Structure 1
Amino acid sequence: MATSPPTVLLLGTCDTKLEELLFLRDQILQASSQIRVIMIDSGRHEVKNDAINISRAQLISRYGSGALLTTSDDLPRGELMEFMSECAAKAIKELFSRREIHGMVSAGGSGATSLASAAMREALPVGFPKLIVSTVASGDTGPYVGETDITMMYSVVDVAGLNEVLHDILSNAGAAIAAMALTYAARQRQRLQQHDTADGVIPSKRRIGITMFGVTTPAVEAIRRHLEFSYPDSSLEIFVFHATGHGGRAMERLIREGRIDAVLDLTTTEIADHVTGGVMSAGPDRLAAAAQAGIPYIISLGATDMTNFGPIATVPEKYKHRKLYKHNSVVTLMRSSAEEGRQIGQHICEKLRLAKDVGMVQVWIPKGGASMISTPGGPFADQEADAALFGAVREGLERSGIEVVEDERDINDGGFARDIAEALARLMGLESQQP
């Protein structure tokens, strides 16, 4: 299917930001003569302007409930924003599926940012250019960006009337999204041309997701080197995800999008944070995506010996008496207790028991230590807590059909890394080219 000319989708609330959005539109068009702009109005009140391609009324009638065209004016602000975001997401998804857009941009305050970011997260995959000029971009952008690759640009001044500062920032934003859209469109054309060659479809890569933390980095580096050296002709592409909460969610998003073919979930520390209330939880559904996808999936217990908090002063009062470790000036680690270890193990088992194909799932228990600081003599060495975690996993997966491998080595041991990498290769059906 041929793609349309490079096109940027501009989404905004035209009843409150029309002047600023039209200026941004002009900057996009001035950035390149090749660029087109599709402008969608997601505001509360109808606005007439020739630059608007999909009006508020059209957005609601085509992609929402037509009955709400008149009653939506009376919705509370929060409900209206959510409704308009859902309508926008459907419109964007349709345009994307037809390859009619190659980048998306928005500008506004917290409400417009919430609306646009939700639509972007829902409708557009990782790798598609997304940019928001926002008054809240200098603060905590996690709720807006989530596990995606939305680019946030701080507006410095409010998006409320054009002035010298906003002129410069919107000009930069227009040039940036135009360049991103042109590059994305070129990549799409190249991929289509490759798949249309006389020799047929280009061999696809086998994509492997691996989770990593600072205290499991040696293992991940060893695994990656081993796979790349032992299987050079297997077209492997390895994605390493930092298990910071957003990292785990990002990996699972790519799994759901069908963009990861196998997972070595070495570092499941985000589950510890979910259980204890740490700052790096990936939510209650962590582990579900790969298990339900039925792809080769090996799980270990990397860094489940710890919960993450910010600077030591931010550790909740109820944990002040616990074994704490200053990882750096902004990260404080808390040693998981025996009871927390049992809960972590139970959570893992509950998710894995729902696996689509239990024959494709293995769990590896590194009995010598789940991180570089919980090995014998280390600051987080705790045999009782380890035994509780390991026992919960072992007992929770009895008669599940899922293979549990108990290994006496620690997670960063070179031999452990090699063997777990080989186990994944076998599940994937890879053939080593090394003697």
Structure 2
Amino acid sequence: MNKTIALLITLDTKEQEAAFLVDEIKKLGDLPLLMDIGVVGEPGTPPDITREEIALEGGKPIHELLKNPTREEASPVMVQGCIKILNRKIMSGEVDAVLGLGGTQGTSTCCNIMQALPYGFPKIMVSTIAAGDMSGFVGIKDITMMFSVSDILRLNPFTRKILANAAAAASGMAGVETKFLMEKGDKPLIGMTNLGVLTKGAIEAINYIEENGYEVIVFHAVGSGGRAMEQMMKEGIIGAVFDYAMGEIADDVWHVLRAGGPERLTVAGKLGIPQVLCPGGAEHLGILVEEHEIPEAFRDHKQVFHSPVIFVPRLNSEEMIRVADDILKRLQYTKNKAYFMFPLKGVGRYSIPGGVLHDPEADAAFFDHLRKNLPANIEVVEMDTHAEDPVFVKKAVDLLIELIEEN
């Protein structure tokens, strides 16, 4: 059955590339839906959805944008218009994948649109800047970035091949039969955070969750992972959470590698989602450095390199209390009953007895500060184990299932 591929292209500058992609998609047996996201110039090839239609959906007629056209004014209008049109067509089954082309500005516009589309829906961005840091463009959505290598400025033998590959990728993704459909049932999908220093415990948790008849989706808690989990809570995909890793909170206090942002650790509480919490990995930071470089501010700390370019300093007692205060600030939004697990022998593999970051005094200061200041509705569960101990993990899962079944 024919699939429909939406194409996000500025037709005043990339009309040749657009026409080529339209032909390639038709050769593959699919249907192109060409959307003109340009503003200033007239389209060089006819679109299926015009810039006029998109601008109107975005809240401002194109003739108003053209009075004194600026990217700052036009881009948000075109982005919102495309989001409305595409989400409507996705919901009605009229579009099966989206493919964008662009340089710096086009990548920003297309990716802003793609970030507002559903998880699992195929999103491909052919970009001149895809070889750089794409975190700001991908955000927390499943966008596939494809480096164009050369500029996207007229056709040549090389760009034809790149664009043909992109068309084939979009067609292939659109035709995949596996769907991401969450059916409402008695048992919610559980979200769980994880870090490398907790992976053995995470595997134990996954197995035990599945033994109890639930499914779990695990997020690497490196900033984007925690934010993605919480976005899925907002979208109703995730209905319970074992927040096993809180390194994103520690890194947010110092604004370093795994920073989870200001909303992290607040969403489940605001939504009333059952949650069990564990401060896994919150006793250290992850700092991106030049290979084996030790930042001056942490030379007197216990330390280890997680990789040659990821420096990991152990936080001392005073610094651990700063992390605890930040956790407490975020948990003020938790109104329902929740559990906070204290693994007294270490919150991660580095800090267990004998570990390179073992510091029982700093751990004790951290736990004591939390114990004294957590809201009354968050019950502390202390265990004389480390965070990866199967006994600890199973207790956390049992408590989460108890909360789910109480709801």
The TM-score range, normalised by the shorter chain, is over 0.9
- The CA deviation string for residues 2-59 of structure 1, in whole angstroms up to 9 with x for no partner, is xx95211111111111111221122112112xx2221111112242466401211221
Corresponding position of 1:369: 346
- The CA deviation string for residues 363-400 of structure 1, in whole angstroms up to 9 with x for no partner, is 1111111111112232211223212321232222143x
**2:304 alignment partner AA:** Y
Give runs of aligned pairs for residues 10-409 of structure 1, distance below 5 A.
Answer: 10-32=7-29, 35-48=30-43, 51-66=46-61, 69-72=63-66, 74-122=68-116, 124-183=117-176, 186-187=177-178, 206-229=188-211, 231=212, 234=213, 236-311=214-289, 312-313=291-292, 316-355=295-334, 357-359=335-337, 361-399=338-376, 401-409=377-385
- Greater shift, 110-119 or 370-379, is seen at 370-379
- The CA deviation string for residues 138-192 of structure 1, in whole angstroms up to 9 with x for no partner, is 1111111111110011101110111111110100100110111122xx456x97x
Cα pair distance change 1:282/1:75, threshold 3 Å: farther
CA contact (8 A) 2:292 2:309 kept: no
Q: CA deviation at 1:292?
A: 1.8
- The CA deviation string for residues 123-143 of structure 1, in whole angstroms up to 9 with x for no partner, is x11100000111111111111
RMSD: 2.3
2: CA distance, partners of 1:50 / 1:20: 10
Q: CA deviation at 1:322?
A: 3.1
CA contact (8 A) 1:275 1:340 kept: no
1: CA distance, partners of 2:294 / 2:69: 40
CA contact (8 A) 2:40 2:66 kept: no
Q: CA deviation at 1:61?
A: 1.6
2: CA distance, partners of 1:225 / 1:216: 14
Identity over aligned pairs, percent: 33
CA contact (8 A) 2:280 2:347 kept: yes
**1:58 alignment partner AA:** E
- Greater shift, 264-273 or 333-342, is seen at 333-342
2: CA distance, partners of 1:175 / 1:94: 24
Cα pair distance change 1:349/1:381, threshold 3 Å: same
2: CA distance, partners of 1:172 / 1:271: 40
Corresponding position of 1:433: none
Calculate the TM-score normalised by the size of structure 2.
0.93
Q: CA deviation at 1:429?
A: 1.9
CA contact (8 A) 1:299 1:364 kept: yes
2: CA distance, partners of 1:13 / 1:146: 22
Q: CA deviation at 1:289?
A: 2.0
Q: CA deviation at 1:113?
A: 0.6
- The CA deviation string for residues 253-282 of structure 1, in whole angstroms up to 9 with x for no partner, is 211111112110011111111001211112
Calculate the TM-score normalised by the size of structure 1.
0.87
Corresponding position of 1:198: none
**1:422 alignment partner AA:** D
1: CA distance, partners of 2:266 / 2:69: 35
**2:104 alignment partner AA:** S
**1:136 alignment partner AA:** I
CA contact (8 A) 1:210 1:239 kept: yes
- The CA deviation string for residues 52-97 of structure 1, in whole angstroms up to 9 with x for no partner, is 012112211233223x632445243344323322222222222223
- Greater shift, 124-133 or 245-254, is seen at 245-254
Unaligned ranges ≥5, structure 1 = 196-200, 431-435
**1:126 alignment partner AA:** Y
CA contact (8 A) 1:44 1:73 kept: no
SS in 1 for 2:256: coil
CA contact (8 A) 2:15 2:45 kept: no
SS in 2 for 1:118: helix
Corresponding position of 1:420: 396
